[in-house]
Structure 1
Amino acid sequence: MTTKEILHMNAGHGETSYARNSTVQAITGLCEPTSTILPKSMAIADLGCSSGPNALTLVSAALDAIHHHCAQQQQPPPEVCVFLNDLPSNDFNSVAKSLATLKHSHGDLDDPVVITGIGMIPGSFYERLFPCGSLHFVCSSNSLHWLSKAPDDLKEGKIPMYDMVEHLRVSRRAAVRDAYARQFRKDFTQFLSLRAQELVTGGRMVISLYGRCSENPISRSNQAWQVVAVALNDMASRGIIDKEKLDSFYIPLYAPLENEVNEIIEDEGSFEINKMLVRNPFSGMDDATVSPKMIALSIRAVFESTVVLHFGSSEEIMDEFAKTVEQKLSSGSAWRAVLAAEYPLKSY
């Protein structure tokens, strides 16, 4: 089963996040080189909007950026059409309920941005979603590290994502890493090519995704799913989940290195990188806030649909999963691995 059929997750974005600040710069970049005037009408799209209270964060930031830019330039704001995209399993009803709040908050501004239409577009962003040359601004946050599917060559070769036998796991580490890297390159290249067709000439895109910072061979093999695999391996060893099912379990997620992202963007050729930033998501947060329990609950929220689909629906299994993840994170080494592996790599 492919990612687009099973995956649904939530992600949050703070007021001071890079995504919000970079959005302002990207909106300004839409102006003609010799002018500060925005188009009379604009279309913006959030790809991987998710649901819940943060679903409209990026769109709201874009509308704020348009409003402030027009206020500074003393020009009337453009009419804006907003498109919200996620997989068909996303809770779009929840997103729809947030739209009234969005319109109300921007309607209170002096000379507000006029939202002329809002569309919800279910589907994978690894497929065409919009007509050619129809979008001015595209944003995507905490989504592009999810692959369209797990690597076929691992499944066909019956190479586990995380082998229970340690010496086999070590010997296959490079093969697993390279298979995931190839799938990420294929998917990310496809994403860039499709968005290049859908954006107007001079359009802008802001994206963020989880990445890794170190070239160290051991660190290079760390992935955002590693602590999940460690916890499931522990549960399999205790007979809570089936060992054979663990061997055939693959999480379609890859955290790339910065140079991988750079190289793919350059090789695909449709976009130029205006700015790239690597940031520790836990920077400025104390250990009491970023606790193993909090991270374990977040991991459960993100991975539960994938785990349940493969191992079966059971509240007891998921409770044990969260408990085991928390225990592994509390042990120290696994906790540091998560911190090292999950630095969001944000680029536009």
Structure 2
Amino acid sequence: MKPLVEAAIVDVCRNTRTLPCRKMVIADLGCSSGPNAVALVSIALETTRNHFLQLQQPPPEVSLLLNDLPYNDFNVVVKSLVVLRQINEPIVVAGVVPGSFYERLLPSGSVHLFCSSNSLHWLSKAPEDLRIKQIPAYDIDENVRHERLPVVAGAYTRQFRKDFTLFLKLRGKELVPDSRMVVSLAGRRSDELVTEITHVWGTTAQILGVMASECAIDKAKFDSLYIPVYAPSLKELREIIQEEGSFSITEMRVHDPASGMDSTLLTPNKIANCMRAALEPIMVQHFELSGEVMDEFARTAEST
């Protein structure tokens, strides 16, 4: 996302209508809490400073805001922000904004750049109609699973469209006119709705299905697990953005995260650990799992 964030910042800085008071607000939505929590805002801050240095002008005052859900570990985030403030000028404000990005977070017309990395494929909730009708998101029986796949995929598609439309509407209100937003999210290459990878978590579901068949986890709880994740196609995103109307599209890219990566790094152990890191909180809460069972999940993932 680095070149996209840099280009967005330059566009904002060049627009005199966007920065009339020489003050800039940059917000990251879904920052998480690890070492990458300040990565995007750091890029934006450095680009802003370099742009005005080249013009031999003083940079604007900058406010950096990091958002995630209330139970995110903001202690780690705040420590990262403190370090960032100490090595950069002229940050005036750096803070956190706890809450869902499917709700209003900031005042109207206050933000110059929104960025969000690897977050917007998380839905506000799993599709309610599947839960009400007790239709499993992933059935162990392959024939039944394929019969239900159009219903399941359609439910997830409608939920994503509803959530992403709301996200765009809210951010459109919070942005300064002529400002920018740069986001990345997990997607799928196919425009076809009914695919095994529609929910991103198909591989995880297969692993849990094996564990359920071996009685390592409860079968009834497996059937009632609805992970709130959806991977849209490029066509879906474009249609939703155009229909909602708050934004115009400057650029859209499809990126393979494995491209340019040393294939030796993609070991079964690393892939299993990535899956565990992303989904363990959900699975532990839903299945009431212990660390030993999650270890079994990782071992099953490696051998699948």
Distance 1:317 1:221, change over 3 A: same
Out of 37-46 and 119-128, give the one that drifted further. 37-46
How many residue pairs are counted as aligned between the two chains? 304
Distance 1:270 1:215 in 2: 24
Aligned-residue RMSD, C-alpha: 1.7
Percent identity of equivalent pairs: 53
Change (3 A) 1:219 1:136: same
Please name the residue that 2:44 is paired with: 62
Picking from 281, 284, 288, the partner of 2:260 is: 284
Q: Which residue of 2 aligns with 1:235?
A: 211
Equivalent in 299, 317, 321 of residue 297 of structure 2: 321
2:105 corresponding residue in structure 1:
129
In structure 2, give the amino acid aligned to 1:157.
K
- Residue 174 of structure 1 corresponds to 150
Contact 1:212 1:220 in 2 (8 A): no
Query: Relative contact order (C-alpha < 8 Å, sep 6+): which is higher?
Result: 1
> In 2, distance between residues paired with 1:218 and 1:260?
14
Shift of 1:313: 3.1
TM-score (norm 2): 0.96
1:100 is aligned to 82
**120-129 or 23-32, which moves further after superposition?**
23-32
Name the stretch that deviates more: 267-276 or 278-287: 278-287
Residue type of the partner of 1:290? L
Instruction: Give CA-to-partner distance per residue, 1:101-131, whole Å, 9 cap, x none.
Output: 212332xxxxx4x111112111000000011
Whether the 8 Å contact between 1:37 and 1:75 is mirrored in structure 2 is no
1:296 lines up with 2:278 in the alignment: no
- Aligned in 2, Cα 1:36/1:302: closer, same or farther, shift over 3 Å? closer
Question: How much does 1:32 deviate?
Answer: 5.2
SS in 2 for 1:272: coil
Q: Which amino acid aligns with 1:58?
A: L
Correspondence 1:42 to 2:37: no
One-letter code aligned to 2:42? S
Distance 2:118 2:41 in 1: 14
| Runs of 4+ off more than 6 Å | 34-38
Residues 181-330 of structure 1: pairs in structure 2 closer than 5 A: 181-215=157-191, 219=195, 221-328=197-304
* Deviation of the 1:86 alpha carbon: 0.2
Tell me the amino acid that sits aligned with residue 6 of structure 2.
V
Q: Any unmatched runs of 5+ in structure 2?
A: none
Among 115, 118, 123, which residue is 2:94 paired with? 118
CA displacement 1:131-178 (0-9 Å, x = unmatched): 111111111110000000000011111110101111110000111111
TM-score (norm 1): 0.84
Q: Which amino acid aligns with 2:288?
A: G
Does structure 2 retain, via aligned residues, the 8 Å contact 1:214–1:220?
Answer: no
Does structure 1 retain, via aligned residues, the 8 Å contact 2:102–2:166? yes
1:99 CA displacement: 1.6
Cα offset, 1:39, TM superposition: 5.2
Structure-1 separation of matches of 2:173 and 2:193: 37
CA–CA separation in structure 1 for the residues paired with 2:288 and 2:30: 26
- What CA distance in whole angstroms lies between the structure 1 residues aligned with 2:103 and 2:209? 34
More moved, 285-294 vs 135-144: 285-294
Shift of the 135–57 alpha-carbon distance from structure 1 to 2, 3 Å rule, reads: same
Match of 2:141 in 1: 165
